[in-house]
Amino acid sequence: VTSDDLSKQVGRQIGDTILAGFVDYIASFRKISRRAQRHFTQREWTEHDADSRQRLALHRSCVVQAVDRVRPLLDGVADGRGTWRTARNHYKRRIADRSDLTLAETFFNSVTRRTFTTIGVDNDVELRWFGATTVPRGEGRAELFATASRVRDTSAMVRQILESYEFEAPWADLEDDARRVAARMDTFLIEEWDSLEADGVDMLRPVFYRNKAAYLVGR
């Protein structure tokens, strides 16, 4: 095996190792996030706070684990930076069909900076956006959002939106909540558009939990 062949082989192995670390990170993040709804509806605030701290520390923990796994591989080749560029290109190809390209890019660069103890930016080994000739696939997928159409008035549309989210706890006053949200939306439409003729609202399907609140995000 020539040194060039070894460099390419190790580069691919490093790329695969970093991707495995990223996949583990995403799986762990989602596992923690799935508990958020139960903590919210059951008012388990202590558990919710503990999960929030764990989620914040998760990225660094997974990055450190990936660094510990790739450093011994990199030590076995003469051209570390050249091998890393091979790893970068291999990793880039493997994540091309993922919907979380930005997160995957950030994870790779975090591992890179810790491995090379980079201060600032090092474009020679870091992963940058693919460029104008590459269109990320999978983003904007229909399963990520739903559209609520305005059939009657804004209040009815808002109620439709609120009822589409399944919480394990009942609404305290769904009708009043819908009316208050609709009033804010109508005020905005009149002030900004000088009209109430909005076709509908696109809503992200995931619910975002922070502190003791649950956020529904739409446009």
pLDDT in tens, 175-219: 999 999 999 999 998 998 888 777 889 999 989 998 889 999 998
pLDDT digits (tens, 9 = 90+) for 8-33: 999 999 999 999 999 999 999 999 99
Domain boundary among 100, 116, 132: 116
d(Cα 137, Cα 146) in Å, to the nearest integer?
19
Q: In terms of domains, do 7 and 68 share one? A: yes
69, 110: one domain:
yes
What is the number of domains present in the chain? 2
Residue ranges of E strands in 17-172:
145-149
Does residue 193 sit in the same domain as residue 99?
Answer: no
pLDDT tens sequence across 68-124: 999 999 998 989 999 999 999 999 999 998 989 999 999 999 999 999 988 878 888
* Same domain membership, residue 99 and residue 18: yes
**Both structure tokens of 126:** 């870091």
Q: Are 87 and 29 in the same domain? A: yes
Residue 157 structural domain: 142-215
Helix (H, G, I), strand (E, B) or coil at 34: helix
Residue 128 lies in a domain: no
132 has a pLDDT exceeding 50: no
Write down the pLDDT at residue 138.
46
Q: What percent of the chain has pLDDT over 90?
A: 65
- Are residues 104 and 162 both part of a single domain? no
Residues 13 and 62 both lie in one domain = yes
3-state secondary structure of 158: helix
